[in-house]
Structures are given as C-alpha cells and as structure tokens.
C-alpha cells in the first residue's frame, strides 16, 4: 500500500484502520507512529490541555514491544496503536486522578478491564485524558486542574465529561481514546469536537476499574475518528468479565464484519420530542439533513414519539447524585487519596478531607443525593425517580417494536464559550437533555459528525435497542461512506 504524501510526516492524522494497515505492511513502525503522536501533543497540547498526564517514555517502550510482536507475526488490528485513556479509568502504574484533588497522585496497582484488554492487544498508552471531576459535568470545566479547550475554537469548551478524550482525538493527539458515559459524557464531547463516539449497552463493557460515579448508568466506550475504528475498539473491550457482575454473559459479535454499509430497509425513527424549541437552528438543519441522507441510503424513516423525554432530566438528577453520594462515601482520607492531617479528631479529619478534596460540583451532587436518599424524602424523590425510570424504559421498548434505531441530535447546542454556563448548574445540565434518556434505559447510542453550525461541529445521535451496537455501527458506517464530515479536521 502506498502512503499519500501528506501523511508521511503526519502519521498522527491516520485512523486506527489506516495505521494498522501500514504497521502490518511494515511501512511504518509503532515507534514512528507513537513519536508522531507525542510530537503532536507537544505541539498543540499547551493550547488545548487535553491531557492530565503524558507517559512518553512508557509509550515508546510499549511501542517497541508492539513492533517486536508485529515482527513476530503476533498482532491484531490494534497492536502498536497509540491511545489516550480518560483519567477515570485505572491504569496500572500510571496516575489516575479522576481530575480531582482527592485522587491527585493516586497510582492504581491494576488496569481497568477495558484498558487491560486493549493493552493485551499491544496498544500504546500515550497518557490520561482531562475530564470533569469524577465525570460530573458537561464541559470539562469541572476538572480540578484546568479546563480543556475545543480544538475547533479554543475559546470554547470541548464538552464533557470526556472532553480531554474527544479534544485529543479531534486534534490528532491520539489515534483513539476510551471515554465513559453516565449521561452523555462520550457522545456530547464527541459531538462538540467532531469525532465519533459510542456509548455501549449497559453491561456490554466491564466497569471494573472504572472509578464509580453512578453505577447503574456508567459505561465505558470508544471515541475515534470513525465508526469503523469504533467497531474494532468495541470488539476488543466488550464481553463478560468475572470482576463485574453486571457485565453481560453474551458473546461479542464480529462488529467489523457487520459493517456492510447496506442500510436499505432499516427502519429509523425520528422522535419529535428531540427537536424541541430552543435548539440551535444550525444543529436542527444539520441533523435534519443527515436524517434525510439516511433515507437516501435506503433507510425507512418514521416519526415516533417518546413522551417521557421531558422527565428524563429530573429523573437523572435524582438517580445519578444518589448513586454518587453512596459511591463517593469511600473518600474518607483513610484508605487512599487525599488525607487532611490536622490536630482534630477522626471526624474532623474526614470532614476537612472531603471539604478540601472535592470540588464544588461534586459536593453539590453529594448533597443532592444524600438529600434524595434521606429518610422522609426517599419515597418522594429516589423511589419516584426509579418509577419514572421504568416509564422511560417502557417508552423506548414500545418504540423499538416499530423501528430498528432512532436518529436525533446529540445536544441541542454546539460547543459554547468557556465560562458561559459555569454559574448556572441547571443551564449546564440542560446541555444533556437528549443523551440522558439513553443511560436511564441502558441503551447503546452513538454520536456521528454530521455538519457544522457557525463553524462548530454538530453530532447526529443514533440510538438502538439493547445490544444493537452492530446495527448502529453499520448505520454510522454507511453514513460515513457517503459523507465527509468525519474527515474534517480543525486547523490548529
Ligand atoms: N453531564 C452529565 C453529568 O454531569 C453526564 C456526565 C457523564 O456522562 N459522566 O452527570
């Protein structure tokens, strides 16, 4: 295979599939590829801050090891490919901070299962991605360390909470990344940064080693340049894991083989509630055009209704904080992480540890959750939210008897200016109205670049029934074969 000239000096522009072909053909080495990404990080990351930690030396060692495997003929489509991992996922020997003072300097002794499965295939870890503290936020401004900037306009947010991961992939600072999605944290930053992201079915990917935010909603998934790359990565990380009892005991399909690009006869529902007033007109135009494009490609469109959509935000902001208040109780300054050492007794030390270790948004969530779970309020809030959760699930179940997938916007907005929403939590929460319902129902969904509004990327959201990742990937792949939006890159 011949390398187009412009990529010779810019290996960081390659997709996973392209890089993998060149590695297998021995036209490039993983060390060269890794160097190119490290150089790119050096060139652009002081403007973007997509990384909390860069592990350059370890990366080059891993790349050498990958080159040996390739030379020995023992490799897969991911061997030698450089990646970034969101700092919410444990990486053995590499600090995992969750973008929190609480875990500053914390070095896990094991890999998250998803990370371990990628490393077993010989991927190269470039470093850890910036994010909103513990995954709580929609803009990466809640990182305790620094905000990440959007590569398309550095005065704007990259979305969140996996903002560092989406920005890194968009800017060519990693061939792909792993993010996590509790209420939209893979899809929304992917949409804001013009890259492709997939939130798998709840249980499709093990959560072992993913630092818990809201355990009934959290999922790990890929952020990459296109659907074909997402298919390869999902295939590597999916599947049952004895360390996560909620991981599903279902075989992992050959997602790549499913990318036929043929979507004729696929029934695509368009939920009217996802096109509400107040959405950016450019987003509406781009998403509408993308849906028409799916029809040109053979999909059968149907208008559908998901009437419980309007309750999803309230439901999510009871359930997620409730689970977070329980999950984050473990940060007591005793076992690991930040520990306040003063004159007072144990209770005072714990109080000060949590006072100084957590940022304002995390504290707000803990207080909200503790309140919703407290005796006397439990029935009115937490129990009620669980009932609403069932209704939202049933809404999707009903619609998926008529259609194979849904197409909608990822967010009603494009990337907004840094600082615009930080003073008003509810305005920030509203950014995720169209992504939260999917997590509440445990469904898989993707964000696919589908155009621009005022020069900023717009994402098309594809949502499917449980375990329909293969079909979603194929719809996205068909769309990406017919369009070029996913190939656009920000000029930095
Ligand atoms: N923005 C939502 C929240 O703050 C979702 C975040 C996520 O998916 N981790 O909870």
Q: What is the pLDDT of residues 243-278, one digit of tens each?
A: 999 999 999 999 999 999 999 999 999 999 999 988
User: Ligand 1: which of 320, 360, 412, 425 to mutate, most ligand atoms within 8 Å of CB?
Assistant: 320
> Would you call 165 a catalytic residue per the annotation?
no
- The pLDDT of residue 3 is 45
Q: What is the pLDDT of residue 129?
A: 98
Is the pLDDT reported for residue 50 higher than 80? Answer: yes
pLDDT number for residue 248: 98
From the CB of 184, is ligand 1 less than 6 Å away?
Answer: yes
Other Cβ atoms within 10 Å of 320 Cβ, number: 26
Question: Which pLDDT belongs to residue 7?
Answer: 46
CA distances from 221 to 204, 210, 390, 468 (A): 10, 11, 24, 14
Active site residue 453: no
- State residue 8's pLDDT score: 46
Q: 127-178 pLDDT, tens per residue?
A: 999 999 999 999 999 999 999 999 999 999 999 999 999 999 999 999 999 9
Structure tokens at 20: 């993998």
363 is catalytic: no
Share of the chain above pLDDT 90, in %: 96
161 lines ligand 1 (CB under 6 A): yes
Confidence (pLDDT) at 343: 84
Average pLDDT over residues 88-106: 98
Residue 442 has pLDDT above 70, yes or no: yes
Based on the number of CB atoms within 10 Å of its own CB, is 301 exposed (0-12), middle (13-18) or buried (19 or more)?
Answer: middle
Residue 212, CA distances (Å) to 321, 327, 355 in order: 12, 6, 20
Rounded Cα distance between 373 and 382, Å, is 6
For residue 9, what pLDDT is reported? 58
Residue 4 has pLDDT above 90, yes or no: no
Question: What average pLDDT does the segment 395-414 reach?
Answer: 98
Task: Kindly name the residue from 161, 247, 325, 453 that is annotated as catalytic.
Answer: 161
Q: What is the pLDDT of residues 176-201, one digit of tens each?
A: 999 999 999 999 999 999 999 999 99
Which atom of ligand 1 approaches the CA of 320 most closely?
10
* Residue 18 CB less than 6 A away from ligand 1: no
CB-ligand 1 contact for 219 (6 Å cutoff): no
Tens-digit pLDDT profile for residues 108-117: 999 999 999 9
């Amino acid at each position: 295979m011949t390398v187009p000239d412009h990529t010779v000096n810019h290996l960081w522009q390659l997709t996973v599939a392209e890089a993998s072909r060149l590695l297998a053909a021995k036209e490039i080495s993983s060390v060269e590829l890794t160097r190119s990404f490290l150089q790119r990080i050096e060139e652009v990351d002081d403007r973007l801050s997509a990384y909390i930690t860069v592990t350059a030396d370890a990366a080059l060692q891993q790349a050498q090891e990958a080159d040996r495997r390739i030379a020995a003929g023992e490799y897969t489509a991911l061997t030698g490919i450089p990646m970034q991992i969101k700092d919410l996922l444990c990486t053995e020997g590499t600090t995992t901070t969750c973008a929190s003072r609480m875990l500053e300097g914390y070095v896990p002794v094991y890999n998250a299962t998803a990370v371990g499965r990628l490393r077993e295939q010989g991927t190269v870890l470039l470093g850890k991605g910036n994010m909103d503290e513990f995954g709580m936020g929609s803009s990466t401004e809640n990182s305790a360390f620094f905000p990440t900037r959007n590569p398309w306009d550095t005065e704007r947010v990259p979305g969140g909470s996996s903002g560092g991961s989406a920005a890194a992939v968009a800017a060519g600072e990693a061939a792909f990344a792993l993010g996590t999605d509790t209420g939209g944290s893979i899809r929304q930053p992917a949409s804001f940064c013009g890259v492709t992201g997939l939130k798998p079915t709840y249980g499709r990917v093990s959560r072992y080693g993913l630092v818990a935010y809201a355990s009934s909603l959290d999922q790990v998934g890929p952020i990459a340049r296109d659907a074909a790359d997402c298919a390869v990565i999902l295939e590597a990380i999916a599947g049952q894991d004895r360390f996560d009892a909620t991981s599903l005991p279902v075989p992992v399909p050959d997602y790549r083989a499913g990318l036929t690009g043929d979507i004729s006869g696929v029934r695509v529902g368009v939920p009217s509630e996802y096109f509400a007033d107040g959405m950016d007109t450019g987003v509406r135009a781009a998403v509408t055009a993308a849906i028409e494009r799916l029809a040109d490609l053979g999909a059968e469109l149907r208008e559908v209704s998901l009437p419980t959509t309007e309750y999803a935000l309230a439901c999510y902001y009871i359930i997620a904080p409730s689970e977070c208040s329980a999950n984050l109780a473990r940060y007591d300054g005793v076992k690991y992480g930040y520990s306040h050492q003063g004159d007072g007794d144990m209770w005072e030390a714990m109080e000060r540890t949590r006072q100084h270790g957590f940022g304002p948004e995390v504290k707000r969530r803990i207080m909200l959750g503790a309140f919703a779970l407290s005796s006397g309020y439990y029935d009115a809030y937490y129990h009620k939210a669980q009932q609403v959760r069932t209704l939202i699930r049933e809404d999707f179940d009903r619609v998926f008897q008529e259609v194979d997938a849904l197409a909608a916007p990822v967010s009603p907005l494009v990337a907004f200016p840094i600082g615009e929403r930080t003073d008003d939590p509810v305005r920030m929460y509203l950014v995720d109205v169209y992504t939260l319902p999917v997590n509440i129902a445990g469904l898989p969904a993707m964000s696919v670049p589908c155009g621009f509004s005022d020069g900023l990327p717009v994402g098309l959201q594809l949502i499917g029934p449980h375990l329909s990742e293969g079909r979603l990937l194929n719809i996205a792949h068909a769309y990406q074969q017919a369009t070029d939006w996913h190939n656009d890159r920000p000029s930095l």
